[in-house]
Chains A and B, each alone.
Chain A
């Protein structure tokens, strides 16, 4: 799951990013509205956490442009102004959810996850395919009721493969969804992670490699 935080308070942005990374999400940060919009247009995010009071470009404007750009990213507005009027205005601009500052971090995580579920085709809260079961909320994955010990990246890759529901996922897509912008796009992190994930999933092999196309579960 890939998340963009557009927040001008560096300390807050850093704390949210750290917390979301602990939850295994790939997180990018932008400190002003224009830079945030650029990043959102450049990369394929599942969720954009958007502050309203932003320099360079107001959060409302970012929200309007993002919602109008046909991006599939879900927008969570995060702001200190959370009167009824502000919430209605925010949702009317195209935000998918609204959370007032200060907030409980668990709630933010739960909302981000709920929004990510709605990004792209609808998917259930617990992903299942064959003997494999994965619960993003509790961060547990199992095969045949046998708990799997996965790292954050392995978990992320498995989640994307399960969400594709039998479709082919390219390694670029995996890189986009599971790793953040600081990853070298030519590195072999996807291949390495896929190797360790396959080993942990055990026999018989469930993940197929389709040369030149990607992977399929």
Chain B
């Protein structure tokens, strides 16, 4: 508040001072010019006046009785009169114009004070909005009206920043709410299971076994969610830039999933061409692991999963994982990469997904300067393609927080 008033005061004083100085200089200049006319050329005006009045030289040479006594020529009297009039004029000019200048300066200060307030009003509006803003009122905008000047530009820039901030806040809030839901649900299951089993007076060994199994499943789920949240947090920034052979990573991952796939009668067919990517070995393995895990989870029993690592197009390494399965509508495909998105929740909960698998794939791809995309063939199943820049030209970009 004080700072704004002081800017207004400074502006007003500057106006006033400027006006006074310029006015004073102007007055001083005209005074000096007038004086010069009077002093440097004595008798000039009187001579000119005589000429205009057609007074002959002989008349000017005539003697006349002086008002102050004695004799003097008419010309001399006229010059004397001229000097007197001039000095009277100059004195009057000096006195009255000084007062006029003082009053005008005062008027300009008052006008300046008013003008400064008018000019500074948008600043006041902007700072009022900025002061009011908090996480819960981020939807407010300044929406400054008026001419498209610098202040309007400032307000518009501020508004644009608010739009971005709000979007980031909403995404963050949604993420926290989803994460807390994912973490609390297993806790709720454990707590309820325990409460109910302990409250039942007829609990037998079978009930206890059932309780223990339910709780173990809930703990496994909590571990999975926490683990994946940590991977997501890690993939916001890339610390390591090692040369990683994606073919080796994919073969390793495929081996780890071979047994789970076998149990469901699914075959994993890997075709991997040696291709180096610069990045974090552990994160890239998680990427491949999530893709294969997802494929095994959702593939129809008895089908074949194709995992392919190839070079190109361009300076890129392409990892492609394709599985057969349920038909997914094309509208749903982009949502698959959203954090905590699940398809037909209750069904996939049974398959144990946390809804973070593909979100991690997208985040890891992005932090390595690549991208992840998916397509759903009309006959069913899902094909996920991840492109990563080849090691020779690693372009590392930071992942954004937005989901």
Q: B191 near A: Cβ within 8 Å?
A: yes
Give residues 54-82 of A contacting B (CB, 8 Å).
54-56, 79-81
- Could you list 17 A-B pairs, sorted by A, with CB under 8 Å? A10-B346, A11-B189, A19-B196, A22-B196, A31-B346, A53-B181, A53-B345, A55-B344, A79-B181, A81-B181, A100-B184, A101-B188, A102-B187, A102-B191, A102-B192, A105-B191, A105-B192
Neighbour of A12 across the interface among B182, B185, B344, CB < 8 A: B185
Number of A residues near B (Cβ < 8 Å) is: 28
Is B218 positioned at the interface, with any CB of A under 8 Å from its CB?
Answer: yes
- In Å, the complex CA distance between A114 and B177 comes to 29
A10 to B183 CA separation, bound complex (whole angstroms): 16
Asked if B349 and A8 sit within 8 Å, CB to CB, the answer is: yes
Point out the residues of chain B lying under 8 angstroms from A16, CB to CB. 192, 196
Min distance, Cβ B328 to any Cβ of chain A, angstroms: 15
By the criterion CB–CB under 8 Å, are B188 and A103 in contact?
A: yes
Q: Given the complex of chains A and B, what is the CA–CA distance between A121 and B99 in angstroms?
A: 90
Q: Does B280 contact A (CB under 8 A)?
A: no
Q: Does A9 count as interface, using CB distance less than 8 angstroms?
A: yes
User: Residue A18 at the B interface, CB < 8 A?
Assistant: yes
Contacts of B153-191 to chain A: CB distance below 8 A: 177, 180-185, 187-191
- Which B residues lie at the A interface, using CB under 8 A? 177, 180-185, 187-193, 195-196, 199-200, 214, 217-218, 342, 344-346, 349-350
Complex Cα distance A79/B188, Å?
A: 10
Enumerate A1-32 residues with CB–CB distance to B below 8 Å.
Answer: 8-12, 15-16, 18-19, 22, 31-32
Complex contacts, B192 vs chain A, CB 8 Å: 12, 15-16, 19, 102-103, 105
Whether B199 and A22, one on each chain, are in contact in the complex, defined by CB atoms closer than 8 angstroms, is yes
Check if B185 sits within 8 Å of A101, measured CB to CB: yes
The distance from the CB of A113 to the nearest CB of chain B, in whole angstroms, is 15
- Tell me if A81 and B346 are in contact (CB < 8 A): no
Q: Are B200 and A22 in contact (CB under 8 A)?
A: yes
Which of A10, A19, A105 contacts B349, CB < 8 Å? A10
Partner of A104, one of B184, B195, B342: B195
Quick one: given A18-B196, A54-B345, are A9 and B185 in contact (CB under 8 Å)?
A: yes
Residues of chain B lying within 8 A (CB to CB) of residue A144: none
What residues of chain A lie closer than 8 Å to B185, measured between beta carbons? 9, 12, 80, 101
- For the residues of B in contact with A, the DSSP-based class is helix
Contact B345 A101 (CB under 8 A): no
A131 interfacial by beta-carbon distance below 8 Å: no
A106 close to chain B: CB less than 8 A: yes
CA distance A173 to B214 in the complex (A): 36
Q: Are A102 and B184 also in contact (CB < 8 A) when A9-B189, A15-B189, A15-B214 are?
A: yes
In the complex with contacts A81-B180, A102-B184, A8-B346 CB distance below 8 A: yes
- Please judge, given known A-B contacts A80-B185, A101-B185, whether A32 and B345 are in contact too, CB under 8 Å: yes
CB-CB nearest in chain B for A56: B344
Give the complex CA separation of A106 and B193 in angstroms: 12
- The answer to whether A105 touches B199, judged by C-beta atoms less than 8 angstroms apart, is yes
Q: Output the nearest chain A residue to B198 by Cβ-Cβ distance.
A: A105
CA distance A8 to B350 in the complex (A): 10
CB distance from A55 to the nearest CB of B (A): 3
Seed contacts A10-B346, A19-B195, A105-B196; 17 additional CB < 8 Å A-B pairs: A9-B188, A9-B189, A15-B192, A15-B193, A16-B192, A18-B196, A22-B196, A55-B344, A80-B180, A80-B182, A80-B183, A81-B177, A101-B185, A101-B187, A101-B188, A104-B195, A105-B191
- B218:A11 contact, CB within 8 angstroms: yes
Q: How far is B193's CA from A143's CA once the two chains are assembled, in angstroms? A: 35
Interchain nearest-CB distance for A95 vs B (Å): 17
On whether the beta carbons of B345 and A8 are closer than 8 Å, the reply is: yes
Contact mask A77-103 → B, CB, 8 Å, 1/0? 001110100100000000000001111
B177 lies within 8 A of A104 (CB): no
**Can you name the residue of chain A whose Cβ is closest to the Cβ of B344?**
A55
Cβ contact within 8 Å between A9 and B195: no
Which B residues touch A101, using CB under 8 A?
184-185, 187-188
Q: How far is the CA of A81 from the CA of B345 in the complex (A)?
A: 17
For residue B191, which residues in chain A have a CB less than 8 angstroms away from its CB? 102-105
CA A86 – CA B184 in complex, angstroms? 15
Q: Are B346 and A55 in contact (CB under 8 A)?
A: yes
Known: A15-B214, A55-B345. A106 touches B188 (CB 8 A): no
* Distance, CA A9 to CA B181, complexed state (A): 12
Residues on the B chain within 8 Å of A103, using CB: 188, 191-192
Report, nearest first, the 10 A-B pairs whose CB atoms are least far apart. Answer: A105-B195, A55-B345, A19-B196, A101-B188, A80-B184, A80-B181, A102-B188, A15-B192, A102-B187, A102-B191
Which chain A residue has the least Cβ–Cβ distance from B343? A55
Closest to A32 in B: B346
Say yes or no: A19-B199 contact (C-beta < 8 A), given A11-B214, A81-B180.
yes
